[in-house]
Amino acid sequence: MSERPVLGIDIGGSGIKGAPVDLDVGDWATERIRIPTPAKSTPANVTKVVAEIVEHFADSIGDGPVGVTVPAVVMHGVTRSAANIDKSWIGFPIEQLLTDTLGREVVVVNDADAAGVCEVKYGSAKDHPGLVLVTTLGTGIGTALVHNGVLIPNAELGHIEIDGHDAETRASAGVKDRKGWSMNEWIPRIERYYQTLELLLWPDLIVVGGGISRDHEKFLPRLQLNTPIVPATFRNRAGIIGAARLAQDRLIAPDPLDTTRAPAPRK
Ligand code: BGC
Protein backbone atom coordinates (compact mmCIF):
# COMPACT_ATOMS: atom_id res chain seq x y z
CA MET A 1 0.00 0.00 0.00
CA SER A 2 1.38 3.40 -0.89
CA GLU A 3 0.57 5.79 1.92
CA ARG A 4 0.84 9.00 -0.02
CA PRO A 5 0.10 9.71 -3.65
CA VAL A 6 3.15 9.86 -5.91
CA LEU A 7 3.48 12.76 -8.33
CA GLY A 8 3.56 12.01 -12.05
CA ILE A 9 4.52 14.71 -14.55
CA ASP A 10 4.10 14.43 -18.31
CA ILE A 11 6.28 16.72 -20.43
CA GLY A 12 4.81 17.26 -23.89
CA GLY A 13 5.56 19.56 -26.79
CA SER A 14 2.76 21.98 -25.85
CA GLY A 15 1.98 21.34 -22.19
CA ILE A 16 3.53 20.04 -18.99
CA LYS A 17 0.93 18.22 -16.91
CA GLY A 18 1.13 16.83 -13.41
CA ALA A 19 -1.07 15.07 -10.88
CA PRO A 20 -0.57 13.10 -7.68
CA VAL A 21 -1.38 9.45 -8.37
CA ASP A 22 -3.00 6.99 -6.00
CA LEU A 23 -0.94 3.90 -6.78
CA ASP A 24 -3.34 1.52 -5.06
CA VAL A 25 -6.17 2.60 -7.31
CA GLY A 26 -4.05 3.48 -10.34
CA ASP A 27 -5.53 6.88 -11.04
CA TRP A 28 -5.09 10.55 -10.25
CA ALA A 29 -5.69 11.31 -6.60
CA THR A 30 -6.65 14.91 -7.45
CA GLU A 31 -7.17 16.93 -10.61
CA ARG A 32 -4.06 17.55 -12.69
CA ILE A 33 -2.57 20.93 -13.50
CA ARG A 34 -1.24 21.93 -16.89
CA ILE A 35 1.34 24.63 -17.63
CA PRO A 36 2.27 25.48 -21.23
CA THR A 37 5.67 24.16 -22.28
CA PRO A 38 8.12 27.11 -22.49
CA ALA A 39 8.61 28.35 -26.06
CA LYS A 40 12.29 27.54 -25.70
CA SER A 41 11.85 24.06 -24.25
CA THR A 42 15.40 23.52 -22.98
CA PRO A 43 16.00 21.18 -20.02
CA ALA A 44 16.65 24.21 -17.76
CA ASN A 45 13.41 25.98 -18.73
CA VAL A 46 11.33 22.82 -18.47
CA THR A 47 12.89 22.03 -15.09
CA LYS A 48 11.57 25.37 -13.77
CA VAL A 49 8.03 24.38 -14.76
CA VAL A 50 8.45 20.91 -13.23
CA ALA A 51 9.59 22.58 -9.98
CA GLU A 52 6.46 24.75 -10.03
CA ILE A 53 4.23 21.69 -10.37
CA VAL A 54 6.07 19.88 -7.55
CA GLU A 55 5.65 22.97 -5.35
CA HIS A 56 1.93 23.09 -6.17
CA PHE A 57 1.40 19.53 -4.92
CA ALA A 58 4.01 19.57 -2.14
CA ASP A 59 1.48 19.09 0.67
CA SER A 60 -0.06 15.94 -0.75
CA ILE A 61 3.13 14.21 -1.95
CA GLY A 62 5.34 14.89 1.09
CA ASP A 63 8.98 14.09 0.37
CA GLY A 64 8.07 11.26 -1.99
CA PRO A 65 9.56 10.54 -5.42
CA VAL A 66 8.45 12.11 -8.69
CA GLY A 67 8.08 10.33 -12.03
CA VAL A 68 8.58 12.41 -15.16
CA THR A 69 7.89 11.49 -18.79
CA VAL A 70 9.63 13.01 -21.79
CA PRO A 71 9.07 12.49 -25.53
CA ALA A 72 12.58 11.11 -25.85
CA VAL A 73 14.69 8.01 -25.42
CA VAL A 74 15.92 7.92 -21.82
CA MET A 75 18.92 5.73 -21.05
CA HIS A 76 19.79 5.53 -17.35
CA GLY A 77 18.81 9.10 -16.62
CA VAL A 78 20.17 10.66 -19.82
CA THR A 79 17.91 11.74 -22.70
CA ARG A 80 19.24 10.48 -26.03
CA SER A 81 16.73 11.97 -28.48
CA ALA A 82 14.19 14.83 -28.54
CA ALA A 83 10.78 14.70 -30.24
CA ASN A 84 8.86 18.00 -30.19
CA ILE A 85 11.21 19.48 -27.61
CA ASP A 86 14.44 21.47 -27.84
CA LYS A 87 17.32 19.54 -29.39
CA SER A 88 19.52 20.40 -26.38
CA TRP A 89 17.84 17.47 -24.60
CA ILE A 90 19.96 15.07 -26.66
CA GLY A 91 22.69 13.71 -24.37
CA PHE A 92 21.43 15.68 -21.34
CA PRO A 93 21.62 14.16 -17.79
CA ILE A 94 18.06 15.24 -16.98
CA GLU A 95 17.52 12.92 -14.03
CA GLN A 96 20.49 14.46 -12.28
CA LEU A 97 19.35 18.05 -12.92
CA LEU A 98 15.82 17.31 -11.69
CA THR A 99 17.01 15.37 -8.66
CA ASP A 100 19.38 18.18 -7.66
CA THR A 101 16.81 20.93 -8.31
CA LEU A 102 13.89 19.26 -6.57
CA GLY A 103 15.91 17.69 -3.75
CA ARG A 104 14.02 14.43 -4.03
CA GLU A 105 14.14 11.15 -5.92
CA VAL A 106 13.21 11.63 -9.59
CA VAL A 107 12.75 9.03 -12.29
CA VAL A 108 12.64 10.14 -15.93
CA VAL A 109 11.11 7.83 -18.50
CA ASN A 110 10.04 7.86 -22.14
CA ASP A 111 6.38 8.96 -22.45
CA ALA A 112 5.20 5.83 -24.27
CA ASP A 113 7.02 3.57 -21.82
CA ALA A 114 5.16 5.26 -18.97
CA ALA A 115 1.85 4.78 -20.79
CA GLY A 116 2.73 1.13 -21.38
CA VAL A 117 3.44 0.50 -17.71
CA CYS A 118 0.16 2.18 -16.78
CA GLU A 119 -1.91 0.01 -19.14
CA VAL A 120 -0.20 -3.20 -18.01
CA LYS A 121 -0.44 -2.42 -14.29
CA TYR A 122 -3.89 -0.86 -14.20
CA GLY A 123 -5.52 -0.71 -17.64
CA SER A 124 -6.65 -2.77 -20.58
CA ALA A 125 -3.57 -5.02 -20.51
CA LYS A 126 -3.68 -5.51 -16.73
CA ASP A 127 -1.68 -8.62 -15.78
CA HIS A 128 -1.68 -9.79 -19.40
CA PRO A 129 0.89 -12.57 -19.84
CA GLY A 130 3.43 -12.66 -22.66
CA LEU A 131 4.41 -9.75 -24.87
CA VAL A 132 2.21 -6.66 -24.79
CA LEU A 133 2.82 -3.91 -27.33
CA VAL A 134 1.37 -0.57 -26.24
CA THR A 135 1.18 2.17 -28.86
CA THR A 136 0.30 5.82 -28.37
CA LEU A 137 -1.03 7.49 -31.48
CA GLY A 138 -0.52 11.23 -31.24
CA THR A 139 1.75 13.77 -32.93
CA GLY A 140 4.16 10.86 -33.30
CA ILE A 141 3.80 7.16 -32.62
CA GLY A 142 5.08 6.06 -29.23
CA THR A 143 5.58 2.39 -28.43
CA ALA A 144 6.24 0.33 -25.32
CA LEU A 145 7.08 -3.35 -25.01
CA VAL A 146 6.15 -5.09 -21.79
CA HIS A 147 6.95 -8.78 -21.34
CA ASN A 148 5.23 -10.60 -18.48
CA GLY A 149 4.82 -7.27 -16.71
CA VAL A 150 8.44 -6.16 -17.21
CA LEU A 151 9.12 -3.07 -19.34
CA ILE A 152 11.73 -3.38 -22.10
CA PRO A 153 12.55 0.33 -22.34
CA ASN A 154 12.99 2.62 -25.33
CA ALA A 155 11.40 0.56 -28.09
CA GLU A 156 11.28 3.28 -30.77
CA LEU A 157 8.98 1.32 -33.05
CA GLY A 158 7.17 4.42 -34.27
CA HIS A 159 10.20 4.88 -36.49
CA ILE A 160 10.35 1.52 -38.25
CA GLU A 161 10.75 1.96 -41.98
CA ILE A 162 7.77 0.96 -44.07
CA ASP A 163 7.86 1.39 -47.87
CA GLY A 164 10.93 3.58 -47.49
CA HIS A 165 9.38 5.96 -44.95
CA ASP A 166 9.59 6.51 -41.22
CA ALA A 167 6.27 4.95 -40.16
CA GLU A 168 5.19 7.78 -37.86
CA THR A 169 5.38 10.27 -40.74
CA ARG A 170 2.80 8.17 -42.61
CA ALA A 171 0.51 6.69 -40.00
CA SER A 172 0.34 8.83 -36.84
CA ALA A 173 -2.83 10.57 -35.71
CA GLY A 174 -0.95 13.87 -36.08
CA VAL A 175 -0.33 13.21 -39.78
CA LYS A 176 -3.98 12.23 -40.24
CA ASP A 177 -5.00 15.61 -38.78
CA ARG A 178 -2.44 17.61 -40.71
CA LYS A 179 -3.41 16.01 -44.01
CA GLY A 180 -7.11 16.14 -43.21
CA TRP A 181 -7.50 12.39 -43.89
CA SER A 182 -10.82 10.70 -43.20
CA MET A 183 -10.88 7.41 -41.23
CA ASN A 184 -11.20 5.59 -44.57
CA GLU A 185 -8.04 7.23 -45.84
CA TRP A 186 -6.09 6.66 -42.64
CA ILE A 187 -7.13 3.08 -41.82
CA PRO A 188 -5.05 1.33 -44.55
CA ARG A 189 -1.98 3.20 -43.29
CA ILE A 190 -2.40 2.35 -39.63
CA GLU A 191 -3.37 -1.21 -40.56
CA ARG A 192 -0.17 -1.65 -42.56
CA TYR A 193 1.76 -0.29 -39.60
CA TYR A 194 0.27 -2.80 -37.15
CA GLN A 195 0.58 -5.65 -39.66
CA THR A 196 4.29 -4.91 -39.99
CA LEU A 197 4.75 -4.83 -36.22
CA GLU A 198 2.95 -8.10 -35.69
CA LEU A 199 5.14 -9.83 -38.28
CA LEU A 200 8.29 -8.53 -36.60
CA LEU A 201 7.33 -9.00 -32.96
CA TRP A 202 4.50 -11.56 -32.66
CA PRO A 203 2.95 -9.83 -29.63
CA ASP A 204 0.22 -11.47 -27.56
CA LEU A 205 -1.75 -8.24 -27.30
CA ILE A 206 -1.67 -4.78 -28.87
CA VAL A 207 -3.02 -1.77 -26.95
CA VAL A 208 -3.90 1.44 -28.80
CA GLY A 209 -3.67 4.67 -26.82
CA GLY A 210 -3.44 8.39 -27.51
CA GLY A 211 -6.33 10.80 -28.01
CA ILE A 212 -7.59 9.10 -31.18
CA SER A 213 -8.24 5.86 -29.29
CA ARG A 214 -11.35 7.61 -27.96
CA ASP A 215 -12.75 6.85 -31.44
CA HIS A 216 -11.58 3.21 -31.34
CA GLU A 217 -14.97 1.90 -32.47
CA LYS A 218 -14.46 3.68 -35.77
CA PHE A 219 -11.20 1.94 -36.65
CA LEU A 220 -10.12 -0.95 -34.43
CA PRO A 221 -12.83 -3.39 -35.64
CA ARG A 222 -11.82 -2.67 -39.22
CA LEU A 223 -8.13 -3.60 -38.86
CA GLN A 224 -7.22 -6.99 -40.36
CA LEU A 225 -4.77 -8.37 -37.81
CA ASN A 226 -3.93 -11.72 -36.26
CA THR A 227 -3.19 -10.22 -32.84
CA PRO A 228 -5.94 -9.14 -30.43
CA ILE A 229 -6.00 -5.33 -30.38
CA VAL A 230 -7.76 -3.28 -27.69
CA PRO A 231 -8.17 0.41 -26.83
CA ALA A 232 -6.19 1.83 -23.92
CA THR A 233 -8.08 2.50 -20.72
CA PHE A 234 -6.23 5.64 -19.69
CA ARG A 235 -5.44 7.34 -23.00
CA ASN A 236 -3.75 10.67 -22.21
CA ARG A 237 -3.83 10.06 -18.43
CA ALA A 238 -1.53 7.05 -18.81
CA GLY A 239 1.79 8.94 -18.90
CA ILE A 240 1.29 10.57 -15.51
CA ILE A 241 0.08 7.35 -13.88
CA GLY A 242 2.84 5.17 -15.37
CA ALA A 243 5.56 7.67 -14.46
CA ALA A 244 4.39 7.77 -10.85
CA ARG A 245 4.34 3.97 -10.72
CA LEU A 246 7.87 3.74 -12.13
CA ALA A 247 9.11 6.32 -9.62
CA GLN A 248 7.72 4.25 -6.77
CA ASP A 249 9.17 1.02 -8.21
CA ARG A 250 12.62 2.61 -8.55
CA LEU A 251 12.76 3.15 -4.80
CA ILE A 252 12.61 -0.60 -4.45
CA ALA A 253 15.00 -1.42 -7.32
CA PRO A 254 17.39 1.43 -8.28
CA ASP A 255 18.83 1.47 -11.80
CA PRO A 256 22.30 -0.13 -11.44
CA LEU A 257 23.45 1.37 -14.75
CA ASP A 258 22.64 4.97 -13.85
CA THR A 259 26.14 6.43 -13.63
CA THR A 260 24.96 10.05 -13.56
CA ARG A 261 24.37 10.17 -9.83
CA ALA A 262 24.69 8.25 -6.60
CA PRO A 263 22.43 5.21 -6.27
CA ALA A 264 18.93 6.06 -5.12
CA PRO A 265 18.42 5.71 -1.37
CA ARG A 266 16.58 2.53 -0.47
CA LYS A 267 13.41 3.19 1.49
C1 BGC B 1 9.50 9.58 -30.24
C2 BGC B 1 9.26 8.70 -29.03
C3 BGC B 1 8.01 9.14 -28.29
C4 BGC B 1 6.84 9.26 -29.26
C5 BGC B 1 5.58 9.81 -28.58
C6 BGC B 1 8.26 9.65 -31.10
O7 BGC B 1 8.49 10.51 -32.16
O8 BGC B 1 10.58 9.08 -31.01
O9 BGC B 1 10.36 8.73 -28.17
O10 BGC B 1 7.71 8.21 -27.31
O11 BGC B 1 7.16 10.11 -30.35
O12 BGC B 1 5.81 11.07 -28.04
pLDDT tens figures, 44-89: 999 999 999 999 999 999 999 999 999 999 999 999 999 999 999 9
Predicted confidence band at 8 (pLDDT cuts at 50, 70, 90)? Answer: very high
**115 within 8 A of 242, measured Cβ to Cβ:** yes
> Is the per-residue pLDDT at 233 higher than 60?
yes
Q: What is the mean pLDDT of the segment spanning 210-236?
A: 97
110 C-beta closer than 6 A to ligand 1: yes
72 C-beta closer than 6 A to ligand 1: yes
**83 within 8 A of 217, measured Cβ to Cβ:** no
**203 within 8 A of 179, measured Cβ to Cβ:** no
> Is the per-residue pLDDT at 1 higher than 50?
no
pTM: 0.95
12 C-beta closer than 6 A to ligand 1: no
CA–CA distance, 66 with 97 (Å, rounded to integer)? 13
